[in-house]
C-alpha cells in the first residue's frame, strides 16, 4: 500500500494507522492541514473491501475537511478518521474506547466526531478516553439535521441560479442513501413539494 505517492496524499501532515488487538480496532487517522488550527473531522465506520480503499477514503475526506472548514471561516484545519469494521457491529464499547485512546495520543492535533456508521453514543464512549471529541450529547450533538439543512439550501440556491425558480415544487431530486443526513434532507425536499427518487 503506497502512502506518500498515493494519488490522494496531497501533502498530508500526518497519517496514523491504529490497531488494538484486544478490541479489534483497525483505524486510520488523516490530518491534512493544521494551518488554521487543529484538524477537525468526523470518524467514519465502514466495512471497506480493502485497506487501500479505506486509505483513499480517509485521505480524500480529510482534504475536503480542510477546505470545508476554511470556507466556513473556522479556525480549524482538516482531518478525518475511518474505522475499518462493520457499522452494524453491536459490541462497540471496547472499540471506541481504544479509538479514543489513539485520538488522545495525538495531543489535540485532531478532534473527531460522528460520521457515517458512527453515532453520538459512540463518540461519548471515545470521549471517556479523550477530550478531543466534538458533537457530544448535550452540547452540539448530532450534526445530521444541520448538514441536511445546508444541503437543502444549496439545492435551492442551485435551482434559483440555474432555473430562476424560488421553489423546488415539482423539481425531481435524486437522493442516494437515507441515513441520518439523507432522511432529514428528504423531509425538507418533500415538504417543499419536490419529486423524490430515493435509493
How distant, in Å, are the alpha carbons of 27, 112, 138, 195 from that of 16? 8, 14, 30, 43
Taking residue 94's Cβ as centre, other Cβ atoms within 10 Å add up to 14
**Which stretch of DSSP H or E encloses residue 17?**
strand 14-20
How many Å apart are CA 55 and CA 129, to the nearest integer? 24
For residue 91, give the C-alpha cell.
459490541
Plot region of 171 (φ>0 → left; ψ -120 to 50 → alpha; else → beta): beta
How many Å apart are CA 195 and CA 4, to the nearest integer? 45
Reported as half-sphere exposure (CB side, CA atoms, 13 A), residue 106 has a value of: 30
Residues labelled catalytic: 80
How many Å apart are CA 121 and CA 137, to the nearest integer? 8
Amino acid at each position: 500500500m503506497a502512502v506518500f505517492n498515493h494519488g490522494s496524499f496531497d501533502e498530508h501532515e500526518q497519517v496514523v494507522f491504529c490497531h488494538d488487538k484486544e478490541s479489534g480496532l483497525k483505524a486510520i487517522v488523516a490530518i491534512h492541514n493544521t494551518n488554521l488550527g487543529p484538524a477537525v473531522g468526523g470518524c467514519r465506520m465502514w466495512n471497506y473491501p480493502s485497506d487501500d480503499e479505506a486509505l483513499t477514503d480517509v485521505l480524500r475526506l480529510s482534504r475536503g475537511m480542510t477546505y470545508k472548514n476554511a470556507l466556513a471561516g473556522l479556525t480549524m484545519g482538516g482531518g478525518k478518521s475511518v474505522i475499518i469494521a462493520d457499522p452494524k457491529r453491536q459490541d462497540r464499547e471496547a472499540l471506541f474506547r481504544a479509538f479514543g485512546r489513539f485520538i488522545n495520543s495525538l495531543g489535540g492535533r485532531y478532534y473527531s466526531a460522528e460520521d457515517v456508521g458512527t453515532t453520538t453514543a459512540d463518540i461519548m464512549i471515545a470521549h471517556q478516553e479523550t477530550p478531543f471529541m466534538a458533537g457530544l450529547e448535550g452540547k452540539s450533538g448530532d450534526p445530521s439535521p444541520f448538514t441536511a439543512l445546508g444541503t437543502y439550501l444549496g439545492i435551492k440556491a442551485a435551482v434559483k441560479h440555474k432555473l430562476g425558480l424560488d421553489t423546488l415544487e415539482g423539481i425531481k431530486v435524486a437522493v442516494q442513501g437515507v441515513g441520518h443526513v439523507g432522511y432529514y434532507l428528504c423531509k425538507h425536499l418533500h415538504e417543499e413539494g419536490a419529486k423524490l427518487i430515493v435509493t
